[in-house]
């Protein structure tokens, strides 16, 4: 009587050990991804991006009869370089930026962290140009699972988790993977792989390789890796990106390596509204000291930082605070007392390593606060004769940006609390 029970138990164990059918597992994972995408609430994540910009050195012996000396390298020649050898690559600069990023339809839109609302400006306009990738917060997955062709490549183990590995290819006619050139968006085909948790059916990792870029895109290749984990958003838990990296090789011999980290993901409840007139009406003394409208043009402001700006941690998009060193006066009338708090935004955090090595830190003022009442502040940097000189702000940024340049061979620079800058107000 025991033998049938034993055989049944052995059969159950063998069935449990058999890997799931790859096609069935892929179909179930796809259904889960698409169903979760429909249920995913409108959400926002903080994205911190570190970028490194390299130049490929032309130190490869060309075959006789190949390109003429000094001619641009072809994509094939650039690809032949060993990218890990310092003799082939020179780091030109690095920068860091931080954004609030959300998905609207099939488009990712961004704004500076804590800003009052998401505007209509492109992220590329916001960050002042440079290589930047969108799509990692969900649109890539939708494209791959709706428009791809797949091949199962086997089972792998990562951190004790069994993963089913697949390769995929998305053709040009079905691709939403696009590159932005000087005037337009250019689509391209792409391929890569993804890894699915065989138990939870969740996508754990994704790679994308676009090496068939059209000439007008100005690139040779873009390779991206995205890591996904379950993240709580609102009342539910959803699989979202936690980290991505991209290597972009361009036809001009430059290369950008980008790392993005996602944090603070939260449900988005509509456009936030920041009031510059506090909801609680100030008392008589406060009302007398607080400006009812932006300051008139031509008022000089001398500011001192109230907290340090450290290039090791600060990023474009971060808020900084300062205090008014002297009263703001219109002739003899005191408009704002000394000590008033000024809040601004870092709009560039860049480290140039070409000679002379330097840090470029660009600041822009946003508001001034007196007795708890905030008023918009419009001011441009004031460069006095005999000062360190005039520097232009990042391309495409407002003329109200103060570009500070610090020449140093050090890998870090700190603007300590008390650092002084001078400004003059302009018309709103």
- Domain count within the chain: 2
Which secondary structure element, helix H or strand E, spans residue 244, and what is its range? strand 236-250
Q: Give Cα 283 distance to the centre of its chain.
A: 43
Longest dimension (CA), the chain: 107
**pLDDT tens-digit profile, the chain (428 residues):** 444 444 444 444 434 445 579 999 999 999 988 888 777 777 889 999 999 998 876 544 343 344 455 566 677 777 766 555 555 678 999 999 999 988 766 667 788 888 767 766 666 667 766 777 776 776 788 888 888 899 999 999 988 889 999 999 999 888 878 776 666 778 888 999 999 999 999 999 999 998 877 777 778 889 999 999 888 887 778 888 999 999 988 888 788 999 999 999 888 876 543 333 333 344 444 444 555 678 999 999 999 999 999 999 999 999 999 999 999 998 889 999 999 999 999 999 999 998 889 999 999 999 999 888 999 999 999 876 444 444 555 566 678 999 999 999 999 999 999 999 999 999 98
Instruction: Indicate whether 289 and 251 sit together in one domain.
Output: no
Q: What is the dihedral of CA 381, 384, 390, 395, to 10 degrees?
A: 20
Instruction: Indicate whether 246 and 305 sit together in one domain.
Output: no
- Domain range for 120: 20-60+72-267
Instruction: Indicate whether 291 and 245 sit together in one domain.
Output: no
Instruction: Indicate whether 403 and 294 sit together in one domain.
Output: yes
What is the reported pLDDT for 276?
A: 33
Instruction: Indicate whether 94 and 185 sit together in one domain.
Output: yes
What is the reported pLDDT for 225?
A: 95
Spatial separation of the C-alpha atoms in residues 247 and 96, rounded to whole Å? 16
Residue 115 β-bridge partners:
none
Instruction: Indicate whether 321 and 384 sit together in one domain.
Output: yes
Residue 247 β-bridge partners:
223, 257
What is the reported pLDDT for 299?
A: 94
Contact between 58 and 253 under an 8 Å Cβ cutoff? The reply is yes
Q: Give Cα 24 distance to the centre of its chain.
A: 36
Closest CA to 24 of 16, 32, 14: 32
Q: Phi and psi of 217, rounded to 5°?
A: -75, -20
Contact between 233 and 267 under an 8 Å Cβ cutoff? The reply is yes
What tokens were used for 60? 């490869």
Domain endpoint, select from 214, 232, 267: 267
Instruction: Indicate whether 293 and 221 sit together in one domain.
Output: no
CATH number of the domain within which 417 lies:
2.40.128
Asked, for residue 65, whether it belongs to a domain, the answer is no
Instruction: Indicate whether 196 and 328 sit together in one domain.
Output: no
What is the reported pLDDT for 291?
A: 57
Domain endpoint, select from 205, 239, 267: 267
Contact between 303 and 420 under an 8 Å Cβ cutoff? The reply is yes
Burial of 38 (0-12, 13-18, 19+ CB in 10 A): exposed
Give the three-class secondary structure for 335: strand
Spatial separation of the C-alpha atoms in residues 387 and 405, rounded to whole Å? 12
Q: At a CB cut-off of 8 Å and minimum separation 6, what does 133 contact?
A: 222, 224, 244, 246, 248, 258, 260
What is the reported pLDDT for 5?
A: 47
What tokens were used for 188? 């391209």
Asked, for residue 250, whether it belongs to a domain, the answer is yes
- Do β-strands 89-104 and 149-158 pair in parallel, antiparallel, or remain unpaired? unpaired
Instruction: Indicate whether 173 and 291 sit together in one domain.
Output: no
Instruction: Indicate whether 133 and 189 sit together in one domain.
Output: yes
Instruction: Indicate whether 186 and 302 sit together in one domain.
Output: no
Instruction: Indicate whether 250 and 341 sit together in one domain.
Output: no
Which secondary structure element, helix H or strand E, spans residue 301, and what is its range? strand 300-305
Residue 2: CB atoms within 10 Å: 6
């Amino acid at each position: 009587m025991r033998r049938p029970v034993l055989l049944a138990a052995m059969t159950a164990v063998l069935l449990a050990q058999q890997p799931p059918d790859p096609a069935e597992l892929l179909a179930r994972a796809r259904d889960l991804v698409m169903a979760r995408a429909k249920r995913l609430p409108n959400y926002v994540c903080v994205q911190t991006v570190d970028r490194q910009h390299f130049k490929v050195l032309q130190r490869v012996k060309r075959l006789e009869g190949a390109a003429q000396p000094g001619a641009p390298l072809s994509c094939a020649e650039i690809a032949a370089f060993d990218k890990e050898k310092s003799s082939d690559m020179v780091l030109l600069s690095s920068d860091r930026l931080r954004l609030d990023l959300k998905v609207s339809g099939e488009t990712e839109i961004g704004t500076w962290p804590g800003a009052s609302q998401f505007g209509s400006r492109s992220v590329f306009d916001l960050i002042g140009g440079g290589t930047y990738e969108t799509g990692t917060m969900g649109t890539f997955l939708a494209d791959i699972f709706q428009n791809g062709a797949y091949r199962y490549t086997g089972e792998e183990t990562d951190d004790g988790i069994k993963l089913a590995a697949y390769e995929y290819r998305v053709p040009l006619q079905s691709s939403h993977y696009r590159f932005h050139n000087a005037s337009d968006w250019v689509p391209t085909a792409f391929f890569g792989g993804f890894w699915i948790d065989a138990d939870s059916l969740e996508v754990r990792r994704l790679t994308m390789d676009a090496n068939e870029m059209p000439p007008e895109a100005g690139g040779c290749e873009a390779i991206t890796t995205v890591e996904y984990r379950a993240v709580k958003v609102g009342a539910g838990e959803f699989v979202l990106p936690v980290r991505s990296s991209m290597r972009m090789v361009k036809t001009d011999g430059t290369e950008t390596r980008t790392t993005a980290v996602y944090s603070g993901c939260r449900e988005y409840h509509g456009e936030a509204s920041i009031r510059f007139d506090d909801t609680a009406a100030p008392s008589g003394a406060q009302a007398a000291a607080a400006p009812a409208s932006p300051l008139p043009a031509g008022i000089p402001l001398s500011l001192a930082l109230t907290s340090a700006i450290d290039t090791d941690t600060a990023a474009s998009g971060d808020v900084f605070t300062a205090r008014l060193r002297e009263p703001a006066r219109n002739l003899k009338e005191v408009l704002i007392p000394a000590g008033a708090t000024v809040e601004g935004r870092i709009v560039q955090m860049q480290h140039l390593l070409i000679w002379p090595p330097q840090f470029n830190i660009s600041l822009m003022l946003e508001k001034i606060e007196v007795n708890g009442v905030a008023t918009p502040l419009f001011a441009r940097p004031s460069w006095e004769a005999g000062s360190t000189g005039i520097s232009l702000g990042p391309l495409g940024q407002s003329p109200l940006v103060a570009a500070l340049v610090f020449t140093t061979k050090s890998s870090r620079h700190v603007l300590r609390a008390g650092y002084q800058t001078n400004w003059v107000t302009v018309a709103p």
